Structure 1
Amino acid sequence: MKSLIYRTICFIALVSGYTAAYAQSAAPAVGVAKVTGSLVNEQGKAADYATVSLLKAKDSIVVKGALSNENGTYSFTGIRPGNYVVKATMVGYAPGISAPVSVTASSTTVNVPAIKMQPSTHNLNTVNVVGTKPLIERRSDRTVVNVENSVLAAGNSAMEILEKAPGVSVDKDDNISLNGKQGVTVMINDKLTYLSSAQLATLLRSTDGNTIQSLEIISNPSAKYDAAGNSGIINIKLKKNRESGTNGNLTATAALGKYFRDNTSLTLNHKEGKFSFFGTLSRGDTKRENNIHIDRNVPGADSTTYFSQQTKMLDDNHYNNYRVGADFAMTSKNTLGFVASGYYNPDGSNNNNTTYIGSQPNVFSSYQNTLTTISQTYKNFALNINDKLEIDSNGQALSVDLDYSKFNNNSNAQYDTYFYNLNGSTMAPPQMLRNQTPSTIDIHTAKADYTLPFNKTTKLEFGGKYSDVKTDNDLEAQINTPTGYINDTTRTNHFIYSEKIGAGYVNFNKSFKKTSIQFGVRAENTSSNGNLVNSHQVVDRNYLNFFPSAFINQTINDKNEIGFNYSRRIDRPSYEDLNPFVYYLDQYTYMQGNPFLKPQYTNAFEINYTYNHNINVTLGYSHTSDVITEVIITDTVKKATYQTTLNLQSQDSYNLNINVPYTFTKWWTGNANFTGFYLGFKSGNSQPGVVNNGYLNSGKAAYQIKTTSTFKITKTFKAEFMTNYQSELQYGYYTVKAQYNFDGGLSQSLWNKKANIKLSVSDIFNTRKNNVIAHSNDNIIDIHQKNETRVGRLTFTYNFGNSKIKARDHQTGADDEKNRVKNQ
């Protein structure tokens, strides 16, 4: 650990020294200008991510290089007086060259007329791609991680890729945090997933990383987005295609940790005339081990009982995902489309749990062994119908989405517990329990968005959304008796939850010469009903909330830009957290939901600064009231410890993020990301059984460092390495110990870049662990967890067909609700 920290500090010092040197060498000189322009293709649309070079007109010597952005624009700064031409190259197109332009001593900005890129008539085999997207980009309202060409993306799942993103961390229970805060909303192609942390983890682990184009991290979303998510939004963008023709991608991965894993995916795209079709199929098998060791003491009226618990969990997961869709261009300005997606994911778990029990630390008088067998199936079908109408060429547009999604989750569990004296003799008859837990979730949503430009610098956006969600969870529990299994009334329960949300928003955008502003407000009315059928308890809620947001960006000069944003957000309890069902590890350790949870509200402020378009610094603060927090409760009568979720009084969060891309040489580039944060929790609520009786005033500063280095060894062979270190942090009643890991990979392009073979290893030194302590007064819970994190992967990818094809990138409206579905 000490040597790792030393190396990390040295690395940051090296990057900082390089950045300072670069800043000094790049200081603007007197009489320099900015040269800017744009690229369009033969259809008049933006030619994005083309390689652009500024050449001296006299001898064609290259002065500077750049890539055009997603809008087809490019710029060169610090250009001295002289005559120049701009040259652009792009796969499938002939080189485009501008007319000569002149930069004088008095020039500040020189605009180059738009360059029209013409399709090339030459064999594409002769085209050499020079430019690539950087791994991490900072845009005005989000950070984009371009994982499409990353070595470490090959063969990894979406969850494993997400863990490598700046400021993102995933805990032992698969809860995703951003800048130290939980409550992240995860979207796929701008669609809410409506999944719980557990189900979302299942989906992300079954999503092939080779189907992902990029991750968008939006820490403070505008009023256009659903107000859910106090930590912001992570949007996973899947690969898309557009233009005419047919293309596809086939990927196969073999992986080995302690057990063998494999996954394959096939993507096909076709466009002909007004029709375009796209589809993705992926399947995989993952077997992984998870080892947990828990030491705890439970105080009683007269004495304290000590427990030492060891659990080996073996999960055998299989996934089958599909996504198909089509677009029909009814006119040049009106496109109608549909997307159907779903999955069928069966999996099984075999857990072996041994718990030693005694009246003194490390002195045990008995033990029990619980063997658990769980068989589960997760099914989902989702359908989206969408229509987008471009009303005029000024940008006036209307889009409409209708969504339906259905989840069917079924779980059958058998718990067999055997009781022994310390010498191994039987202490009591075994206890046999079993559960059947069918669960269904139905989601209907409809939304519309309208954009009204007043001129080139001013526009108004407004829209509305309605969602209707119903969950039905039926826990059927039995206990074995001498006459056979009978219904266990103490555990059997039926929980039905329904929720309706009506929302509307308005956004105003205005751009000035160096300033852009956006102000908006979103209103959401929520009506919910939670019905505990067996106990005849009903929780009804109806509330209206307003969520304002504001964004201001100021360009100081060519190298300095600063922005400020504010938003108010809400997090409604997940469907799993509301479900009062009890899920056992053994009779002394279990988890239980809370149907009386209230939503939490967050006010978030953020200041961001960008230097030279690539070094980004973000400073944020947020205050959350009625914060939804996991807690550990002790039942001193049953001597049991269980996890549940409560509303604590408040959480204050401070965070600082610094992202620095670097280029040491043409063959060594990378990125360094530092996130520092402080999480402070307060609670004055009396909660019997909770650590400190529910009273809490805790907080601790923490930090996370992630670095990525890419080495271009040859034109077709590269290596990539990533380090990650997270310091010890405090989250509510929990202290999470420091963790770190090191990943590496190699990539070789084949057959004129139509194929690729990649070898990567995650957590090379097998150092990543989850160690958590809840410690207060006489109640101590010490958890040590080691997942199977060191996995080697060999991935082969083959691209076929027309490499230019892309399909309309469309997002639906049923994303926020999906993000709250959990395994029941």
Structure 2
Amino acid sequence: SSVVDNKVAVTYPATTDAAVNSADHRRSTLWAGKLCLDFPLAHGDFTVGTQATYTRTKLDYMMLNQDVESYIPSSFTDARQASASAFASWRRTFNRLSMSLGLRYEYVDYDFSVDGKRDNDVSRRDNLLTPDLSLSYTFNDRAQVSLSYKMATVKPSYSQLTGALNYVGLHEIEGGNPALRDERMHDVQLFAMCGDFMLQSSLTRSIDTYAFVKQLYPAHNLQLMMHPVNIDVSSVSLYLIWSRAVKFWTPNVTAGIYKQWLDIDGTCYNKPIMSYYFDNTFTLPHGWLITANISGQSQGDIHTNRFASSPFMMDASIGKTMLNHSLTLKLSATDLFNTANNNWTMNTFGVFVDKRQSYNQRGIALNVIYRFNPRQNKYKGRAANEEEMKRL
């Protein structure tokens, strides 16, 4: 369980406008359990198990400015979710061919209430059945290919499910959307390796994933609200990777493209993003290690954001191991040429936003690591509460 308190004050020192104060109190509780059993079956490895979680998060939001409270009211929300699932998978190798088959069933009971009253339009019960299939073939030690299909359910974070609205500025509101549905994602992936080259590609169809939009919000003055809504989007990605050790130098080059197909209210967000990564590692005598990593990308769309290009960024580091690899010293520098940016535009429902944010990400860090007889973690599974912890 956890408790978080926030107090926010928006002030306008150069004007006569009154300060806008708000506060919120969030309490979250999570219970989870998981049981797995592995045993051989039909010349393969079979896994069967069950998992259950209970999550509750309460948010008390208080708007302390009476004028603003007329369109951003205080609210008290309570979200509870109980889920139970059963899963099974079977894996087998036929000489050079490997196969994996999996199936998962999950029951979810989601209950959402505002000011102590259950919201029947948002509360729901779901039954989910998701398969997971993969095939791989190994030609030799330096050549293999694999194809997989996975259907998964991706639940939005609880911060996106809140019904509270937050005051950002005179004409700016941000909020969540308690009516967000769980995403159903169909993902086909192809992986191939031949010598020093690797190919990674995927085709994804996401139903009811979410993206942020800006819309006009009803109030006595002009108000723009940014909040998440459900969307359907298809995307394809293709990346080619090359790596080879050349004496003390190991270069790693990745180049690829991401493209999506998304249409909201007649506006298309289909501009592809091309990107590259050029990582360099220099392994020198006496435990010295130097890295110089360069990356960049073109302008393109991810969901409803069109991100600006950033053609050249560079990080570097120099490190040394001592005392039989027990002690490691590492000096690293980020964004050496101050070329990183977070510029993007958004054009949704007749509202156009152009954000230009230049900030200095340059920095220097010194890491000192000493290992006292390190022990390996023998647990190879996943925690039962891992997914829900990320949502909280």
- Scaled by the length of structure 2, the TM-score of the pair is 0.91
Q: Which residue number in structure 1 is paired with residue 189 of structure 2?
A: 606
- The SS at the match of 1:816 is helix
Query: What amino acid maps onto 1:566 in structure 2?
Result: Y
Pick the aligned partner of 1:449 from 31, 36, 55: 36
**CA distance, structure 1, for counterparts of residue 9 and residue 173 of structure 2:** 15
- The SS at the match of 2:306 is strand
Q: Is the 1:476–1:487 contact (alpha carbons within 8 Å) kept by the matching residues of 2? A: no
Pick the aligned partner of 1:531 from 107, 113, 124: 113
Residue by residue, what CA displacement relative to the aligned partner does 1:739-796 show, whole Å, maximum 9, x if unpaired? Answer: 2410011112334433232211000111100111124796431101234411111222
2:259 is equivalent to residue 678 of structure 1: yes
**CA distance, structure 2, for counterparts of residue 487 and residue 634 of structure 1:** 17
Pick the aligned partner of 1:434 from 21, 30, 35: 21
Residue by residue, what CA displacement relative to the aligned partner does 1:395-424 show, whole Å, maximum 9, x if unpaired? Answer: xxxxxxxxxxx121111122223564xxxx
2:67 is equivalent to residue 497 of structure 1: no
Query: What amino acid maps onto 1:791 in structure 2?
Result: G
* Structure 2 gap segments, 5+ residues each: none
Pick the aligned partner of 1:657 from 239, 264, 269: 239
Q: Which residue number in structure 2 is paired with residue 473 of structure 1?
A: 59
Query: What amino acid maps onto 1:705 in structure 2?
Result: Y
Residue by residue, what CA displacement relative to the aligned partner does 1:101-138 show, whole Å, maximum 9, x if unpaired? Answer: xxxxxxxxxxxxxxxxxxxxxxxxxxxxxxxxxxxxxx
Q: Is the 2:214–2:349 contact (alpha carbons within 8 Å) kept by the matching residues of 1? A: no
Query: What amino acid maps onto 2:188 in structure 1?
Result: F
2:392 is equivalent to residue 806 of structure 1: no
Q: Which residue number in structure 2 is paired with residue 759 of structure 1?
A: 331
Query: What amino acid maps onto 1:710 in structure 2?
Result: T
Q: Which residue number in structure 2 is paired with residue 541 of structure 1?
A: 124
* Structure 1 gap segments, 5+ residues each: 1-405, 421-428, 684-693
2:21 is equivalent to residue 410 of structure 1: no
Query: Residues 51-130 of structure 1: matches in 2 within 5 Å?
Result: none
2:305 is equivalent to residue 724 of structure 1: no
Query: Residues 240-389 of structure 1: matches in 2 within 5 Å?
Result: none
- The SS at the match of 2:156 is coil
**CA distance, structure 1, for counterparts of residue 47 and residue 190 of structure 2:** 24
The alpha-carbon distance between structure 1 residues 579 and 752, as it changes in their structure 2 partners (threshold 3 A), is: same
- The SS at the match of 1:724 is strand
Q: Which residue number in structure 2 is paired with residue 643 of structure 1?
A: 226
Q: Is the 1:479–1:488 contact (alpha carbons within 8 Å) kept by the matching residues of 2? A: no
Q: Is the 1:509–1:517 contact (alpha carbons within 8 Å) kept by the matching residues of 2? A: yes
How many residues are treated as equivalent by the alignment? 388
The alpha-carbon distance between structure 1 residues 532 and 419, as it changes in their structure 2 partners (threshold 3 A), is: farther
Aligned-pair distance for 1:589?
1.7
**CA distance, structure 1, for counterparts of residue 240 and residue 202 of structure 2:** 12
**CA distance, structure 2, for counterparts of residue 626 and residue 756 of structure 1:** 46
Aligned-pair distance for 1:635?
3.7
**CA distance, structure 1, for counterparts of residue 141 and residue 320 of structure 2:** 38
2:215 is equivalent to residue 633 of structure 1: yes
- The SS at the match of 2:343 is strand
The alpha-carbon distance between structure 1 residues 749 and 558, as it changes in their structure 2 partners (threshold 3 A), is: closer
The alpha-carbon distance between structure 1 residues 631 and 776, as it changes in their structure 2 partners (threshold 3 A), is: closer
Q: Is the 1:608–1:617 contact (alpha carbons within 8 Å) kept by the matching residues of 2? A: yes
Q: Is the 2:72–2:167 contact (alpha carbons within 8 Å) kept by the matching residues of 1? A: no
The alpha-carbon distance between structure 1 residues 540 and 797, as it changes in their structure 2 partners (threshold 3 A), is: closer
Q: Is the 1:725–1:741 contact (alpha carbons within 8 Å) kept by the matching residues of 2? A: yes
The alpha-carbon distance between structure 1 residues 643 and 607, as it changes in their structure 2 partners (threshold 3 A), is: same
2:172 is equivalent to residue 589 of structure 1: yes
The alpha-carbon distance between structure 1 residues 753 and 517, as it changes in their structure 2 partners (threshold 3 A), is: closer
Q: Is the 1:477–1:489 contact (alpha carbons within 8 Å) kept by the matching residues of 2? A: no
Aligned-pair distance for 1:660?
1.9
**CA distance, structure 1, for counterparts of residue 131 and residue 87 of structure 2:** 9
Q: Is the 1:431–1:480 contact (alpha carbons within 8 Å) kept by the matching residues of 2? A: no
**CA distance, structure 2, for counterparts of residue 545 and residue 703 of structure 1:** 35
Q: Which residue number in structure 2 is paired with residue 283 of structure 1?
A: none
Query: What amino acid maps onto 1:673 in structure 2?
Result: T
Q: Is the 1:433–1:480 contact (alpha carbons within 8 Å) kept by the matching residues of 2? A: no
**CA distance, structure 1, for counterparts of residue 333 and residue 112 of structure 2:** 46
2:110 is equivalent to residue 507 of structure 1: no
Residue by residue, what CA displacement relative to the aligned partner does 1:7-61 show, whole Å, maximum 9, x if unpaired? Answer: xxxxxxxxxxxxxxxxxxxxxxxxxxxxxxxxxxxxxxxxxxxxxxxxxxxxxxx
Aligned-pair distance for 1:546?
0.7
The alpha-carbon distance between structure 1 residues 744 and 569, as it changes in their structure 2 partners (threshold 3 A), is: same
**CA distance, structure 2, for counterparts of residue 517 and residue 750 of structure 1:** 44
